[in-house]
Amino acid sequence: MKNNSNAPTHLEHHVHIGEVPILSDSASPKIVLVGNPNVGKSVIFNYLSGIYVDVSNYPGTTVEVTKGKYLQYDVYDTPGIYGVSSFNDEERVARDIILEGDVIINIVDGVHMERDLFLTQQLIDMGKRLLVVINFWDEVNKHRIKIDIGKLEHFLGVPVITATAVKKEGLKTLEEKIQQARQGKQNRQLHSKLHIMLTIVGSQSEALLVLEGDEFISKNHGVAPLNERESVYIDRRNRVNYIVNQIIEDDSTRKHIYSLIGRWTVRTITGIPILIGILYLMFLFVGKLVAQDLVGFTETYLGNELWEVWIRSVVTGFIPATSLVAKILVGEFGVLTMSVTYLLFLLFPLVFAFYIALSLLEDSGYLPRLATMVDRSMIFIGLNGRAVIPLILGFGCVSMATITTRLLSTEREKTIATTILQFAIPCSAQLAVITALLVGAGFQALLIYTAVIFSVLVTIGTVLNKTLKGESSPLLIDLPPMRLPRINNVFQKTVVRTFSFMKEAAPWFFLGAGVIGTLEVTGLLKIWQQALAPLTVHWLKLPADASTAFVMGLVRRDFGAAGLYSLHLDPMQVVVALVTITLFVPCVTSMIIMYKERGWKKATLIWIGTWLNAFLIGGLVAHIIGIFKIL
């Protein structure tokens, strides 16, 4: 990291913020798209950059950054933010990219100018070359809002254009005007304050952030953050309110059908049926159509019957089938057989479907409303309403859900949500097997199972809430308008996300299969199974074979559950075995993701915790049922 002391003295010198390889690998001028959440940034980004984009995690964070190419420029899409500072990971990432940007395209929602222009004015105060795009112009007209563009340009001092990005209206003009982006007009008082700071810090953008008390930037320059955020914010807000009053005439009072739907989704009476309906549709699509029907075809037919048979015959053509290498490559856990089938024929369709559902929910504006509806019930387990999203997604796939814990605002909340996911939420694949087994064991068994798992979930949340330092952050979210998702955008987002997920997951699958295959051919897998047997037989009161299921459960959760299928268990044993396997360690994928997201210390703690907890609770259930002779 460069230090300010040896920086050149000319004023616009840039001090780089930490390690930013994604930004520094190119000398091309940078266009950065900036805006509040849900203002259509990604649509404009896709228009400018075409389909060849590069998604990667921003160094040191779990926030995704998308980079593309437009003419001679590098184009960056940033996470949606309401202001530039360091309130959360998204803001930190956006801030660093904005600081490096040569031209900023600021996209604002024409229906929410009062909120969005705050960020616009802040970007202007940072001294960035700016071009403002007022998006959703069709909605502005529909709502009969009159915006005086000429006056707005005059007040801001930067070019302003209007667009309806999803219909590609106004985007040609946008291309023509990129060259005209320029620095805008600042408040005079702020300007003089900035001048003083500028002599110390060297760049106007960073001078402003120091003035607004950004600790990170201040530390980088070896200066104390100033405590002027509040006064600067209030001045800026007053200026924005003044501008809005001057340029907007809004006399429509007409209620929009979408805003009515939005209200229904947060009210308990209508909100719960809507939630159930949405979950059911998601289950039909992801859980049934894709996870069962499509994957049934791709995994069994394309994977097991075509690919694995073919690759096995190719490999054994070169080396004998009984050799160790052949077993590791194309055996039961083969690197070329099992990993490829899992990756391409199981995970790929599931992930794709999952991302379609998620993108639809995101683009519709439903998720923040769901968070609002359930906010109160989440407080007991140390979370706020936002956490409902990863928890619900967990029933689809725990691994994916662990990734979405990113949207929680504090590390404390992320830890609680991850722990609950890894301990107590069965994924859809496992759920299918569990349901089948429980139906066989009777209604009482179902009741005991559900009660035990639910109590564990609540207990874990409550205990973590009491023991982890700090407090949960109260909910404070802006509800975006409900909108009909655009298929194009949903599809494009899904393709990009699926591709980057597969790229990340693939090496781990090959590695995992290699390790398990090696364990098997060396006989270590057998020893492992035998070591676990006493615990299974005496403590859990299950047949000795059940330990095989637990070993399989290490690899994939549904494997573990499926392993119980062939065991001929009585109802009590079914409940005990299912409770244990549900609470048992998460599958390899979700474990790896947990290590990435939470760091090895926490992840190891959680992982060991699931072992102890699963066998403890499983055994307790076995003994309690035994004593009371319930089943």
Give me the residues that bind other proteins (CB under 8 A), please. Answer: 82-83, 85, 87, 111-112, 114-115, 118-119, 143, 229-230, 233-234, 237, 240-241, 250, 262-263, 266-268, 368, 371-373, 375-377, 379, 384-385, 474-479, 481
| C-alpha to C-alpha distance for 155 and 157, rounded to whole angstroms | 6
**CA–centroid distance for 380 within its chain:** 23
| C-alpha to C-alpha distance for 322 and 344, rounded to whole angstroms | 27
| C-alpha to C-alpha distance for 629 and 606, rounded to whole angstroms | 33
Q: What's the closest the beta carbon of residue 376 comes to other proteins, in angstroms? A: 2
Decide whether 37 or 514 has the Cβ nearer to other proteins.
Answer: 37
Q: Which residues contact 87 (CB under 8 A, 6 or more apart)?
A: none
Tokens 């706020």 correspond to what residue?
A: 384
| C-alpha to C-alpha distance for 82 and 237, rounded to whole angstroms | 12
- Paired strand residues for 452: none
**CA–centroid distance for 609 within its chain:** 24
**CA–centroid distance for 556 within its chain:** 22
Q: Which residues contact 288 (CB under 8 A, 6 or more apart)?
A: none
Decide whether 111 or 360 has the Cβ nearer to other proteins.
Answer: 111
Q: What's the closest the beta carbon of residue 159 comes to other proteins, in angstroms? A: 24
Decide whether 260 or 605 has the Cβ nearer to other proteins.
Answer: 260
Q: What's the closest the beta carbon of residue 131 comes to other proteins, in angstroms? A: 21
Environment class of residue 65 by beta-carbon count within 10 Å: exposed (0-12), middle (13-18) or buried (19+)?
Answer: buried
> Cα-flanking dihedrals φ and ψ of residue 395, to 5°?
-65, -20
Decide whether 30 or 92 has the Cβ nearer to other proteins.
Answer: 92
Longest CA–CA separation in the chain, Å = 83
Decide whether 262 or 396 has the Cβ nearer to other proteins.
Answer: 262
CA angle 144, 145, 150 (to 5 degrees): 130
Decide whether 384 or 590 has the Cβ nearer to other proteins.
Answer: 384
Dihedral angle of Cα 135, 489, 393, 259, to the nearest 10 degrees: 40
Q: What's the closest the beta carbon of residue 289 comes to other proteins, in angstroms? A: 33
Q: What's the closest the beta carbon of residue 88 comes to other proteins, in angstroms? A: 9
Decide whether 240 or 351 has the Cβ nearer to other proteins.
Answer: 240
Decide whether 260 or 612 has the Cβ nearer to other proteins.
Answer: 260
Q: What's the closest the beta carbon of residue 236 comes to other proteins, in angstroms? A: 8
Measured on CA atoms in the order 304, 305, 311, 317, is the torsion positive or negative? positive
Could you tell me the two tokens for 30?
């940078």
Q: What's the closest the beta carbon of residue 372 comes to other proteins, in angstroms? A: 4
Q: What's the closest the beta carbon of residue 358 comes to other proteins, in angstroms? A: 21
| C-alpha to C-alpha distance for 286 and 282, rounded to whole angstroms | 6
Decide whether 371 or 588 has the Cβ nearer to other proteins.
Answer: 371
Question: Do residues 132 and 247 touch, judged by C-beta distance below 8 A?
Answer: no
Decide whether 4 or 270 has the Cβ nearer to other proteins.
Answer: 270
- Paired strand residues for 164: 169
Q: Using DSSP, state whether 136 is helix, strand or coil.
A: coil
> Cα-flanking dihedrals φ and ψ of residue 350, to 5°?
-65, -45
DSSP H/E element including 441: helix 428-441
| C-alpha to C-alpha distance for 327 and 330, rounded to whole angstroms | 5
- Paired strand residues for 33: 77, 105
Q: What's the closest the beta carbon of residue 5 comes to other proteins, in angstroms? A: 31
Q: What's the closest the beta carbon of residue 114 comes to other proteins, in angstroms? A: 5
Decide whether 390 or 426 has the Cβ nearer to other proteins.
Answer: 390
Q: What's the closest the beta carbon of residue 126 comes to other proteins, in angstroms? A: 15
Q: What's the closest the beta carbon of residue 375 comes to other proteins, in angstroms? A: 4
Decide whether 229 or 623 has the Cβ nearer to other proteins.
Answer: 229
